[in-house]
Chains A and B, each alone.
Chain A
Amino acid sequence: GAVVSQHPSRVICKSGTSVKIECRSLDFQATTMFWYRQFPKKSLMLMATSNEGSKATYEQGVEKDKFLINHASLTLSTLTVTSAHPEDSSFYICSAREVGRNTEAFFGQGTRLTVV
């Protein structure tokens, strides 16, 4: 099946620094990628929809300036957590769907972010 690679899988950063998470579709093109956040023992909360070549669409309550999303190509989307704080510590997962097909979304392995 299709593969979505997310990097890094784990990151620890100091409060106030920025962290970039990459999401790549390895064997297909994705015009749309999705970023989710998952708190411990909770469901996946959709943060934003990343559209190639245009601005991301953020869900209500998600700070655009805090969580910067860039979708520069059909195989890469990045999420940058700016000026990270301990409350940003969470599990972030991206997913991607193939261009032109309403199929299952393939998910990356997730990134566990810890802000100290």
Chain B
Amino acid sequence: AQKVTQAQTEISVVEKEDVTLDCVYETRDTTYYLFWYKQPPSGELVFLIRRNSFDEQNEISGRYSWNFQKSTSSFNFTITASQVVDSAVYFCALSALENRDDKIIFGKGTRLHILP
């Protein structure tokens, strides 16, 4: 069975600090995809990144970076020099081929508050 765990329910940091959002996943499949989505107060889901299980290279995109470690089944997300506009709920998600429909399963989300 698939499962995504985001242990941090809510995090508050002061602007310009770095913050890491944790994500741990479970799946029986060797082929799977991991995602991060941002949900600002307006409600829409904004796609941030997709990573397949065969690509363990870490990725950096501006102030965002992701650390994928298969050994610990983790896919953590770091925001460097945080800004108030980063305040949102962030969801980690998993899609594995054990599921024919390729449905995406979400973690419970981490609510991030960036304080000015």
Residues of chain A touching chain B, judged by Cβ–Cβ distance below 8 Å, are 1, 32, 34, 36, 41-44, 46, 49, 51, 57, 91, 93, 95, 97, 102-110, 112
> Do residues B103 and A107 form an inter-chain contact, with CB atoms below 8 A?
no
Tell whether A46 pairs with B105 under 8 Å between CB atoms, given A41-B111, A102-B95, A103-B50.
yes
- B44 CB contacts on chain A under 8 angstroms: 107-110
> Do residues A106 and B103 form an inter-chain contact, with CB atoms below 8 A?
no
27 intermolecular pairs with C-beta atoms under 8 Å apart = A32-B101, A32-B102, A34-B101, A34-B104, A42-B108, A42-B109, A43-B106, A43-B108, A43-B109, A44-B91, A46-B104, A46-B106, A49-B101, A49-B103, A51-B101, A57-B101, A93-B45, A95-B104, A102-B102, A104-B35, A104-B50, A105-B95, A107-B37, A107-B44, A109-B43, A110-B44, A112-B43
Instruction: Known A-B contacts: A44-B91, A91-B43, A93-B43. Give 12 more (CB < 8 A).
Output: A34-B103, A43-B91, A46-B106, A49-B101, A57-B101, A93-B45, A95-B104, A102-B95, A105-B104, A107-B47, A109-B44, A110-B45
- B103 CB contacts on chain A under 8 angstroms: 34, 46, 49
B64 at the A interface (CB under 8 A): no
Which DSSP category, helix, strand, loop or mixed, fits chain A's interface?
A: strand
Complex: A110 Cα to B102 Cα, angstroms: 21
- A32 CB contacts on chain B under 8 angstroms: 101-102
Complex: A6 Cα to B30 Cα, angstroms: 34
How close is B8's CB to chain A, nearest CB, in angstroms? 13
Complex: A32 Cα to B101 Cα, angstroms: 8
Tell whether A43 pairs with B107 under 8 Å between CB atoms, given A104-B47, A110-B43.
yes
- A112 CB contacts on chain B under 8 angstroms: 43
- B102 CB contacts on chain A under 8 angstroms: 32, 97, 102
- B109 CB contacts on chain A under 8 angstroms: 42-43
B30-47 interface code vs A (CB 8 A; 1 in, 0 out): 000101010000011101
